[in-house]
């Protein structure tokens, strides 16, 4: 029995040594969201928002569009500091939708000005959020990143036609984001 254990341990050691493994590799892979963005922009009953002009340090990690049950658009990123930031849009009533996508954040009653528009500030135990209500759609920028990073994402959002959509470009936008109250 001891001899069997020694043989098994030796084989496992040899396998471990000769199988390549990179402990420094980033386990989170970037996704290309251009196809889903183009599809959502054609199908959604509202102007679908996606960032333009973010630095390459922002890594897109997830994307989805569900045309039924509120026509929900989701685009997730890791910011340059490795914190999560997501863009969420839906026609679902805001009272139900915002707590759902912001992990139970609550309206603080304060606003945060981004590019001349007042976004509602929501805070929660896991995620904070900036919320913008437009005709027929609620846009939520939420995540574990600080409010300044959420505002940077909100400032980068564009609703341009799919033909001009771009996941990122080299220059970061000049973010004009300040607390409004």
Model confidence pLDDT, tens digit, residues 105-141? 999 999 999 999 999 999 999 999 999 999 889 999 9
pLDDT at residue 181 is higher than 50: yes
pLDDT at residue 160 is higher than 80: no
Whether 65 is covered by a domain: the verdict is yes
d(Cα 87, Cα 157) in Å, to the nearest integer? 9
CA angle 157, 163, 166 (to 5 degrees): 45
Read off the pTM. Answer: 0.76
Whether 25 is covered by a domain: the verdict is no
Whether 107 is covered by a domain: the verdict is yes
Whether 87 is covered by a domain: the verdict is yes
Number of domains composing the chain: 1
Q: What is the CATH number of the domain that holds 151?
A: 3.30.200.100
Contacts 24+ apart (CB under 8 A), 130-135: 130/154, 131/94, 131/98, 131/107, 133/94, 134/46
**pLDDT band at residue 174 using 50, 70 and 90 as cut-offs:** very low
Domain that holds residue 108: 34-168+174-179
């Amino acid at each position: 029995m001891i001899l069997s254990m020694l043989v098994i341990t030796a084989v496992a050691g040899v396998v471990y040594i000769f199988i390549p493994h990179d402990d420094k590799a980033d386990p989170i892979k970037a996704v290309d969201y251009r196809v889903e963005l183009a599809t959502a922009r054609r199908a959604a009953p509202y102007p679908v928002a996606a960032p333009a002009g973010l630095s390459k340090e922002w890594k897109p990690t997830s994307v989805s569009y569900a045309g039924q049950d509120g026509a929900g658009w989701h685009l997730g990123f890791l910011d340059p500091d490795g914190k999560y930031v997501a863009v969420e849009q839906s026609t679902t009533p805001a009272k139900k939708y915002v707590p759902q996508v912001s992990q139970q954040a609550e309206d603080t009653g304060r606003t945060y000005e981004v590019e001349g528009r007042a976004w509602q500030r929501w805070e929660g135990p896991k995620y904070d959020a900036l919320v913008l209500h437009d005709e027929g759609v609620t846009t939520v920028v939420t995540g574990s990143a600080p409010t300044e990073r959420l505002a940077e994402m909100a400032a980068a959002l564009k609703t341009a036609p799919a033909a001009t959509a771009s996941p990122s470009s080299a220059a970061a936008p000049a973010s004009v984001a300040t607390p409004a109250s």
